[in-house]
Structure 1
Amino acid sequence: MVVRIDGSYGEGGGQILRTSIALSALLGKPVEIINIRAKRANPGLQPQHLTGVKAAALLTDAEVEGAVKGSTRLFFKPKNIRCGSFDIDIGTAGSISLVVQTLVPVLLFAPCPTRIAITGGTDVSWSPPIDYMRFVFAKVLSLFGARVEIELIRRGHYPKGGGRAVLRVDPVKKLLPVRLEEFGRVLEIRGISHAVNLPSHVAERQARAAAEVLAKLGYRAEISTEVRSDGLGPGSGVVVWAYSESGSAVGGDSLGEKGKPAEVVGREAAERLVAVLKTGATLDPHMADMAVVYMALADGRCRFSTSEETMHLKTNIYIVEQFLPVKFNVEKQAARYVLEVDGVGYSR
């Protein structure tokens, strides 16, 4: 039975493709996606989307139709999940983080551990920075009993890319159910301010500005600076994250760009983190839409809270419900939105 997905649904972007391909590959269900990225200025598949599709196809020996740049229709029919060591190149500054999003749900149920080296963009617009994936995404997945490690080798910014990261995933029998509605006391706030092929004071000013915003609200943050000259082009950014006594993690980030003062970059990242902390939510908006896949697959009832009910979140819930016999409940409670679902207890 082919699952048919309209790519123009909801936010109408690449998240529909990533979630659909991930669940198709994992569950062994063929999928046909039409109107891919219909609501974007450049509709259809772009290089980072193609890389995710081709990587998932490589891991599952899938039959694929429509995997070409600009295609608005894709058919994906997976077979058995493979594991081992792989090397993939997006070929542009396309986001490594978004490829990781596609592959991790599949690799968690692979027959053996997997290592994938990925070349592309590590810190690019419209995508979680690689440090967010390393210190927030991987931390939240550990609550489900998943062991996911992302090692940064080299940073890559738009437009030249050339960044490199290594994804390592250990398989699980089942994902644990997680119920966390209150973030609780903040145990630590950390961060990384980086600058590549730029003066060191850029990273320092970003870090200082972020720390000052947090200090005014009574939070002490340890924000390290990273100055590198091994990238293909200039670029900078900040990611800050908080860990709580409940075990969860939330983050905030900002990218540098030409004409944007370093102080603005640092303040933006810290303000985005603070906005989530003020609500007491256990997931920030980025992680909330990524978490729904793992909540649905987990072995029992899962419950989280998030600070926003974004269109990305609504869309991802819709896609997950097309593949799995689950029904999410999203309820507004004071400053938070509470997400709840009875996971299917998926295992291979």
Structure 2
Amino acid sequence: MESTHLSQEPKMQTNIHDCLWSVKHEGCASEGRQDACPSGVFRTYFSDMLSHREDKDQRLMVEIDGSYLEGGGAILRVAAGLSAVTGRPLRVSHIRAGRKNPGLRVQHLEGLKAIAALCSGRLVNARIRSTEIELHPGAIEAKELQVTISTAGSIGLLFQSLKLPICMAAGDVIVTVNGGATFAKWAPPVPYIQNVLLPVLGQMGYSAEIEIQRHGFYPIGGAETKIVAHPCRNLQPLSLTDVGVLKDIRGMSIASEHLQKPKVAERQAEAAMKLLRVKGLKATIESQYVDAACPGSGIVLWVHTSTGTVLGFDALGERGKPSELVGEEAARGLINAIESGAAVDNHLSDMLLIFIALARGKSAILCPKLTDHAKTNMYVIEKFLPVKFQIAEDRNTLIECSGSPPV
């Protein structure tokens, strides 16, 4: 099993030409046969070989402006995943240039290292606060990876980085994640991925599971999860333009055992169900207390419809935020998604774009609005693939794309 510890700085890259020349030259000298090692020929041969490879890399290199639109980590996640799948080297510059703390943060570096490990790739300049990185991918292989997240970084965002390349191997890919948070700020919680994203991707032939062995919350993290992905290089097109009739609303209200006495999980669930009832909507929400390294809570709601789509929304508990407000926030978000008349929620539409761009045929999804996240993802995807997204904005936004499957 390969192991990558994501809190450490990557080792400095060694210049291959210098390494090979040093070994050959010193080996000849130690045997007293300087004439047996024609330095000019040797240097010229390897210089030409490396120069040819570097020229080829430069021709195939995809250049991405990391400050484009929202200029966040999504650019890195989408670009690195496509680099691994297409085999094209990647350079991202101006990473998070407009942010308060520009450059790579820990969670971005974690995703890059995991992708590089998956495709036996080489990262250049990948370190904390770096504003430019390169990824030179190798082949994606069926393998087992062990990833360690020493912070409360989002496991959901790690999955966002890996979700495409892990299904492009010839066999199963197993990723064991030690550490991180199943619920984190500004990131999809793992139960959202399990109950909203994966069922919809399943309609395209995608097959993966995430097993939560231990939950983790901010600020300590400490989760234990396992991702198992099965090969799927033949993605089917997706058509989700009609929301249909609502079938049932379900949810999970989760809190650490530290919060069992004040009944945080029940209060989140009851507040969500109360607000949904006002709109004539009945929901079944499971309250659950889990072992965790620190106190924390969250709630995820989702609705199944007659056309096979799934809409979802989530909310995160925070210190000083009443549990009732957490439940109401999730319910209000789901109500807005339902009342929009769209077939997918905005978060889901962002996550689907990279897959419909690689599907065999034309896909169409109807979402409430075109977000900056979606525009950013389209910008990156169109840099890598010969596809063009067609957008029609009215009450909702229709996104269409004829995919370009991987070779």
Query: Do they superpose with TM above 0.5?
Result: yes
**Secondary structure of residue in 2 paired with 1:271:** helix
* Residues 1:223 and 2:285 are matched in the alignment: yes
> How many pairs align?
345
Q: What do residues 42-93 of structure 1 show as CA deviations (whole Å, max 9, x unaligned)?
A: 2211122111111111111111111111111110010111222221012101
* Residues 1:293 and 2:354 are matched in the alignment: yes
* Residues 1:90 and 2:133 are matched in the alignment: no
**Secondary structure of residue in 1 paired with 2:357:** helix
Asked if structure 2 preserves the Cα contact closer than 8 Å seen for 1:121 and 1:161, the reply is yes
Choose the corresponding residue for 1:72, options 116, 119, 131.
131
* Residues 1:342 and 2:405 are matched in the alignment: no
Choose the corresponding residue for 1:302, options 358, 363, 367.
363
> Relative to structure 2, which stretch is displaced further, 193-202 or 168-177?
193-202
| 1:31-110 paired onto structure 2 within 5 Å | 31-110=90-169
**Secondary structure of residue in 1 paired with 2:255:** strand
- 1:241 corresponds to which residue? 302
1:346 CA displacement: 2.6
Asked if structure 2 preserves the Cα contact closer than 8 Å seen for 1:47 and 1:90, the reply is no
1:116 CA displacement: 0.7
Asked if structure 2 preserves the Cα contact closer than 8 Å seen for 1:107 and 1:114, the reply is yes
* Residues 1:214 and 2:260 are matched in the alignment: no
Q: Larger % of helix: which?
A: 2
- 1:264 corresponds to which residue? 325
1:302 & 1:256 partners in 2: Cα distance? 36
1:160 CA displacement: 0.6
1:66 & 1:232 partners in 2: Cα distance? 33
| 1:3-42 paired onto structure 2 within 5 Å | 3-42=62-101
**Secondary structure of residue in 2 paired with 1:237:** strand
2:394 & 2:172 partners in 1: Cα distance? 40
2:294 & 2:154 partners in 1: Cα distance? 15
| 1:155-174 paired onto structure 2 within 5 Å | 155-174=215-234
Unaligned runs of at least 5 residues, structure 2 = 1-59
RMSD: 1.1
Specify the code of the residue in structure 2 equivalent to 1:35: H
- Identity rate of aligned residues, in percent? 40
- 2:10 corresponds to which residue? none
- 2:22 corresponds to which residue? none
- 1:133 corresponds to which residue? 193
1:322 CA displacement: 0.5
* Residues 1:328 and 2:372 are matched in the alignment: no
Asked if structure 1 preserves the Cα contact closer than 8 Å seen for 2:240 and 2:344, the reply is no
1:57 & 1:24 partners in 2: Cα distance? 10
- 1:203 corresponds to which residue? 265
Q: What do residues 126-156 of structure 1 show as CA deviations (whole Å, max 9, x unaligned)?
A: 1011111111111111111111211111111
- 2:19 corresponds to which residue? none
**Secondary structure of residue in 1 paired with 2:110:** helix
Specify the code of the residue in structure 1 equivalent to 2:213: I
Taking structure 1 as the reference length, what is the TM-score of the superposition?
0.97
Asked if structure 1 preserves the Cα contact closer than 8 Å seen for 2:253 and 2:268, the reply is yes
Specify the code of the residue in structure 1 equivalent to 2:313: G
Q: What do residues 94-129 of structure 1 show as CA deviations (whole Å, max 9, x unaligned)?
A: 111111111110011111011111131110101011
Asked if structure 2 preserves the Cα contact closer than 8 Å seen for 1:299 and 1:346, the reply is no
Asked if structure 2 preserves the Cα contact closer than 8 Å seen for 1:47 and 1:91, the reply is no
> Relative to structure 2, which stretch is displaced further, 303-312 or 81-90?
81-90
Specify the code of the residue in structure 1 equivalent to 2:180: G
1:284 CA displacement: 0.8
Runs of 4+, deviation exceeding 3 Å: none
Asked if structure 1 preserves the Cα contact closer than 8 Å seen for 2:118 and 2:145, the reply is no
Q: What do residues 9-51 of structure 1 show as CA deviations (whole Å, max 9, x unaligned)?
A: 0110000000000000111010000111222222211122111
* Residues 1:111 and 2:170 are matched in the alignment: yes
Asked if structure 1 preserves the Cα contact closer than 8 Å seen for 2:85 and 2:406, the reply is no
1:156 & 1:307 partners in 2: Cα distance? 31
1:271 & 1:95 partners in 2: Cα distance? 24
**Secondary structure of residue in 2 paired with 1:33:** strand
Specify the code of the residue in structure 2 equivalent to 1:148: A
2:156 & 2:278 partners in 1: Cα distance? 32
**Secondary structure of residue in 2 paired with 1:287:** helix
2:333 & 2:295 partners in 1: Cα distance? 24
1:206 CA displacement: 0.2
Specify the code of the residue in structure 1 equivalent to 2:141: R
**Secondary structure of residue in 2 paired with 1:278:** helix
2:187 & 2:98 partners in 1: Cα distance? 17
> Relative to structure 2, which stretch is displaced further, 17-26 or 48-57?
48-57
* Residues 1:122 and 2:193 are matched in the alignment: no
Unaligned runs of at least 5 residues, structure 1 = none
1:226 CA displacement: 0.9
1:236 CA displacement: 0.7
